[in-house]
Chains A and B, each alone.
Chain A
Amino acid sequence: MPPSTALTGSRTRRSAQLVWRGMATSPRTYVLAVLSSALFGAATVAVSRAVGWATDSVVVPAIAGDQDAQGRIWLAGLVLAAVAVTLTIGVWCRRVWAGWGYVDVGAAHRRRLADAYLRLPVSWHRAHPAGQLLAHASADAEAATGVFNPLPFALGVVVMLVVATVMLVAIDPWLALAALAIIPAMVVVNLVFQRHMSPAAMTAQRLRGEVADVAHESFEAALLVKSLGTADREEERFAQRTDDLRAAAVRVGSIRAIFDPVIDLLPNLGTLLVLGVGAWRAASEAVGTGDVVTAAYLLTVLSVPVRSFGWVLGELPRGLVGYDRIAQVVDCPDALAPGRSALPAAASGATGSRGIAARFDGVGLDVPDAASNAPVTLLDSVTLDVPAGSTVAVVGVTGAGKTTLVSLLARLMDPTRGRVLLDGTDVRDLAPGQVPAHVALVAQSTFVFEDTVRANVTLADEQTGSNDADADDGDDTEAGRYTDDAVWAALRLARLDEVVADLPGGLDAPLGERGANLSGGQRQRLAIARALVRAPRLLVLDDATSAVDPRIEQEILRGFAGAGTTVVMVAYRMSSVALADVVVHLDGGRVVDVGTHEQLLARDAGYRAIALAYEEETRRREELR
């Protein structure tokens, strides 16, 4: 784990850290950006000096009839052109490097986020909505980088101001005072502007997000809204947020409407001051016309650069907020730290089965409740043996904790208390890649990648065989391991082969975003094929066969049992449950009873209620007739 990403200390200190760490992302680029920005600053002052010089020693005397000055007209043009080219080079280099620097900082944030998303456990993901995580990678990453766009510019302006001050003082201290007097005022006005603007802009941004949230949720609920006829209510809800946003946008616009003219006005007033003082100094012959023109021209070209301080300072609060949001994710210590052990190859234990023996040893799981932060117990004191090669069914009412229990086997999360053992080894001690190499979990809902059928079954990288040396998640166990024959065989067993054969391109057919071109049942069968092709030693089925024909389900289960695979399944179908060697009845996160289907039927009333629900209902109805 890298050292903490979070910024600490006072606001100023945190701002400095933000800027420094960003620039340290690509130091070379930022050195070049700042240097070229300094060149730009110096060249800008040079332009105003050249304009003043041309006025004094060429334009005014030439028009007054000076022959020498008339001969220098072309020279003046050349000098101005040369300065123009220098200035342009400075501007171009500054923008190019500042641009690359900005882009690099953004990419670094996104990489850190992606690493964290892949590192953090499923329980963390369940607590953080996907929309929010995507916003970190887009809006927050942009906010955290925003300050780096004008930063080199502002640093160059510091150089510009120093050079300008030196030059003006050398010409005439009074003129310098008149020209520079306005700069503190400009800085102050910009600061005041940003202080008002930042909160207003942030409010507007937040409301823009809320309007989008309402629209998103409401449109996702479109069917419900139609079905219950609540479009009026939805419209009202949306109109309210929209009106809040309108008010906030008007506020942002009004602040800008008042400050923009003031910010434009200041350098112009400064120019007038320079003209007044300049005329007075010219009367005492301390300065020439060109000197006044230099100072006045400098002020007209200075107004935009001076604003860059405002941009930097204005971006900082937003940048800090964005950065903090990213840091919260990146610094999250919630990773499931891997161990070093490996599972014995196969055929362990007395039975000689290739299946894994699994054991829950006093397992409990608490999760913090979102509202009160008090722990909520999902599982408690679960002790359970799953012998190698056996088939175990987990049965319980809705909300009993079945999914949570079986997901521990694939180490989607770790228990708060107790241990989960695979062939006697705590899953927490297993090296990265060990669990997925031997355990396959088929979840209730199937996640389909925007990729080909083949890639969705094998889940191997596109570039077969070119494993990254530093891949840390058992890449070597997957890439290029499955032949097309194996994929077809798995699809056939899952009864998806005909569907895939009909797709244009067969195994190479692309599946749309989230598998949009498959039906729910087809997606489920794809997930089963995904598990089948791996020939896992422990198969976990979480209500994953509800859309499969019962006969096929039984064939699949018998196939696994014959191969010695250990199977743990959550199921409602009694025909499938009856195939299990052991049935576990779970209720309220605790094991109520363990035994064969018949044993449980005989002694567990709660189990009977579930197992015989349909039968009892039929009988009850017949008695009523």
Chain B
Amino acid sequence: MTDRIGSAELGVVATLRRGVAVSPQIVQGIGWTLLLAVLAAGGRVVIPIAVQRTIDDGILAAGGPDAGRVAELAGLAALALLVAGVCSSAVNVRLVRRTEAGLATLRVRAFRHVHDLATLTQNTERRGSLVSRVTSDVDTISLFVQWGGIMLLVSTLQVIVATALMVSFSWQLTVVVWVCFVPLFLVMRYGQRWVAARYTVVRERMGGMLAAISEAVVGAETVRAYGIAARTGARVDRSIEALRMAQGRAQVLVATTFSSGTLMSNLALAVVVVVGARLGVAGELSAGQVVAFLFLVQLFTGPVQMATEILNELQNAVAGWRRVLGVIETTVEVVEAPDAVASPRGHAQVSLRGVRFAYPGGPDVLHGVDLDLPARAKVAVVGQTGSGKTTIAKLVTRLMDPTEGAVLLDGADLRALTLTSLGDRVVLVPQEGFLFDGTVLDNAAYGLRGPGGDPRRRVLEAFAELGLTDWLADLPHGVDTPVGQRGEALSAGERQLVAIARAYLAAPDLLVLDEATSAVDPATEVRIARALDSLTAGRSTITIAHRLSTAEASDLVVVVHAGRVAEVGTHAELAAADGVYARMHAAWVAQTR
């Protein structure tokens, strides 16, 4: 069974621990950071203390207001604020530097792991979802650490320090303040849950809106050709309106939870005045201390209001972290054996021994294939759609491993060879040749390996050798023509030409072409086939072909039918026999003339 890429099944603490293990930079020097954070939090209570002292020792001092004493106090307080501010800066800088370094490591590791996964595993996920694992999922962690993490640290310490100061004034009033904030905390807690639910809806609708717009954009040609702009426009409008409603509803709920925070903290002021004044009358508190409490209440509002939001962010960050770790922890199916050896370069001779293959959860698509393909031969594999031709190509290039049996290269099981040496020797050209956003030159040169001359010259030579100089000259900028995203500035056939040049430049011992010229005109196809024939003389090629001209030109034809090898032989032998191939070939001849 092929693993899907899931999320790591870890609890919050385990996720954090595993995350830190992958990115150890995050906790470097955390002790100093914490110490600095305590000092920074101390700065938060300077003002309430200064207010209390100013009122009690300054304005209400026995013998009238004492301005000199107040100026002295203010100077001291300013100094304390400066120290706390510097500490606060240091904490922020340290946290940011270390987490960003750690997250960069995490990003790159996850990225690499995606490439290491088997093709089948890669294909279980939409590409966009894989991308989000190394982008937005990591961003949520970064966002949390930069904003939430610092807040969480400073706010927690702030509440602790404020409480300690309040208790030193009056434990009764401290209890009152805490009690005032309990309902707020509960409102926040549940409110936040609803807010999170509404934001989930917003994200879904955002996805729906983008899907609707992408149909209008990617399907632009179909929309024009069939005159269905109104229909498509109506769908897009509906999705935009759905998003707008979801966003608006979420905003109303956020407004409600936020203003309940405003209400509670201001009601707490009223309660503090009433209870504080009564305690003052009873002689428990000075006037300055009651007023100081009014300022201290402010220190609670922020953290309590933020607490649930921060915890929510923490949940998001942990979920994101889990998803990224999930990638790293997905089993690599096509894995290099620990005792793998390099496969020496030379003539590639491929054999299949009792090979069976089934896609995960599906029936066998190959039912025990035995084949010996001679070295230095041009082999054509033909068969109906769904016969298993492409599966053979993927097994020979080790994009996947057989469920039973073995694929041998020069007598060695592919699974016993290092992936690098296999990649050097065997190259697959798939039907849809992917091109990077760059020039024709960039894309063809992507196949070049190792040093060896000027890439430009080598690429131009390759196109010349493939007989494609004329085609190249017709491009607006020749070899420097930009191909656009995914090569979309070129036609499907032209993309295939670049892909073949690229594979040719990689100079493998075995070239596997999977319908690599299916969208090219007959004259060009024949020209390329002929060029490859002479250029790859002495090397092995396996061609999966729809057009049987390739089979006519090959040394050996393998006919695959319903997951089994039906016929093997030269074109002449098979065409003369009364079998599957003879029928296929007759139909092919009929449609070409």
Whether A327 is near chain B, meaning CB under 8 Å from some CB there, is no
Contact partners of B294 in chain A: CB under 8 A: 51, 55, 293, 297
**Inter-chain contact B549/A130, CB cutoff 8 Å:** no
**Inter-chain contact A134/B89, CB cutoff 8 Å:** no
Contact partners of A403 in chain B: CB under 8 A: 491
Q: Complex Cα distance A564/B213, Å? A: 38
**Inter-chain contact A47/B266, CB cutoff 8 Å:** yes
Whether B243 is near chain A, meaning CB under 8 Å from some CB there, is yes
**Inter-chain contact A614/B225, CB cutoff 8 Å:** no
Query: Which residues, 369 to 412 on A, are CB-close (under 8 Å) to B?
Result: 369-372, 376, 396-399, 403, 407, 410-412
**Inter-chain contact A114/B216, CB cutoff 8 Å:** yes
Whether A276 is near chain B, meaning CB under 8 Å from some CB there, is yes
Whether B457 is near chain A, meaning CB under 8 Å from some CB there, is no
Taking each of B228, B244, B419, B506, which has the highest tally of chain A beta carbons within 10 Å of its own beta carbon?
Answer: B228
In the complex, what residue of chain B is closest to A280 when comparing beta carbons?
B67
The interface bits of chain A over 255-271 (1 if a CB of B lies within 8 angstroms of the residue's CB, else 0) are 01110111011001101
The interface bits of chain B over 475-496 (1 if a CB of A lies within 8 angstroms of the residue's CB, else 0) are 1110011101110111111100
The interface bits of chain B over 416-458 (1 if a CB of A lies within 8 angstroms of the residue's CB, else 0) are 0001101110011110011011000000001100000000000
Whether A350 is near chain B, meaning CB under 8 Å from some CB there, is no
With contacts A282-B65, A550-B587 known, is A99 near B248, CB below 8 A? yes
Stretch from B185-193, B271-279, B339-347, B367-375 contacting the other chain: B271-279
**Inter-chain contact B88/A436, CB cutoff 8 Å:** no
Question: SS class of chain A's interface: helix, strand, loop or mixed?
Answer: helix
Contact partners of A220 in chain B: CB under 8 A: 127, 434, 486
B518 partner, pick from A221, A546, A614, beta carbons under 8 A: A546
Whether A561 is near chain B, meaning CB under 8 Å from some CB there, is no
Whether A92 is near chain B, meaning CB under 8 Å from some CB there, is yes
Stretch from B203-211, B355-363, B406-414, B535-543 contacting the other chain: B203-211
B104 partner, pick from A121, A243, A276, A547, beta carbons under 8 A: A243
Contact partners of B578 in chain A: CB under 8 A: none
**Inter-chain contact B85/A261, CB cutoff 8 Å:** yes
Contact partners of B168 in chain A: CB under 8 A: none
**Inter-chain contact B259/A88, CB cutoff 8 Å:** yes
A398 partner, pick from B232, B471, B484, beta carbons under 8 A: B471
Q: How far apart are A326's CB and chain B's nearest CB, in angstroms?
A: 13
Question: SS class of chain B's interface: helix, strand, loop or mixed?
Answer: helix
Whether B46 is near chain A, meaning CB under 8 Å from some CB there, is yes
Q: How far apart are B205's CB and chain A's nearest CB, in angstroms?
A: 11
Contact partners of A282 in chain B: CB under 8 A: 58-59, 65
**Inter-chain contact A129/B104, CB cutoff 8 Å:** no
With contacts A99-B255, A617-B530 known, is A447 near B218, CB below 8 A? yes
Query: Which residues, 80 to 94 on B, are CB-close (under 8 Å) to A?
Result: 81-82, 84-86, 88-89, 91-93
The interface bits of chain A over 34-65 (1 if a CB of B lies within 8 angstroms of the residue's CB, else 0) are 00000000000001000100110011101111
Contact partners of B430 in chain A: CB under 8 A: 223-224, 227
In the complex, what residue of chain A is closest to B512 when comparing beta carbons?
A227
Contact partners of A272 in chain B: CB under 8 A: 47, 50, 74, 77-78, 81
In the complex, what residue of chain A is closest to B439 when comparing beta carbons?
A371
Contact partners of A126 in chain B: CB under 8 A: 488-489
**Inter-chain contact B108/A103, CB cutoff 8 Å:** no
With contacts A103-B251, A114-B236, A216-B131 known, is A242 near B107, CB below 8 A? yes
With contacts A74-B274, A229-B424, A398-B521 known, is A215 near B131, CB below 8 A? yes
Whether B351 is near chain A, meaning CB under 8 Å from some CB there, is no
**Inter-chain contact A228/B447, CB cutoff 8 Å:** yes
Whether A356 is near chain B, meaning CB under 8 Å from some CB there, is no
Whether A472 is near chain B, meaning CB under 8 Å from some CB there, is yes
**Inter-chain contact B217/A225, CB cutoff 8 Å:** no
Whether A125 is near chain B, meaning CB under 8 Å from some CB there, is yes
Contact partners of A119 in chain B: CB under 8 A: 229
Contact partners of B50 in chain A: CB under 8 A: 271-272, 275
Whether B122 is near chain A, meaning CB under 8 Å from some CB there, is yes
**Inter-chain contact A80/B525, CB cutoff 8 Å:** no
**Inter-chain contact B434/A223, CB cutoff 8 Å:** yes
Contact partners of B465 in chain A: CB under 8 A: none
With contacts A265-B82, A399-B491, A574-B591 known, is A473 near B243, CB below 8 A? no
Whether B590 is near chain A, meaning CB under 8 Å from some CB there, is yes
The interface bits of chain A over 103-133 (1 if a CB of B lies within 8 angstroms of the residue's CB, else 0) are 1101100110111011101100110011101
Q: How far apart are A346's CB and chain B's nearest CB, in angstroms?
A: 18
B277 partner, pick from A59, A96, A227, A575, beta carbons under 8 A: A59
With contacts A115-B233, A253-B100, A468-B230 known, is A617 near B526, CB below 8 A? yes
**Inter-chain contact A398/B221, CB cutoff 8 Å:** no
A-B contact list, 16 entries, CB within 8 Å: A64-B287, A80-B273, A92-B259, A113-B213, A118-B229, A218-B115, A229-B423, A261-B92, A280-B65, A398-B493, A436-B228, A513-B211, A543-B519, A575-B592, A610-B521, A613-B526
Nearest first, the 9 closest Cβ-Cβ pairs linking A and B are A229-B423, A436-B227, A99-B251, A253-B96, A257-B92, A84-B266, A95-B255, A279-B70, A80-B270
Other than the known A261-B40, A282-B65, what 15 A-B pairs have Cβ atoms closer than 8 Å? A58-B277, A91-B258, A92-B255, A117-B216, A121-B224, A212-B135, A238-B107, A257-B92, A260-B92, A272-B50, A282-B58, A289-B55, A296-B47, A398-B491, A474-B230
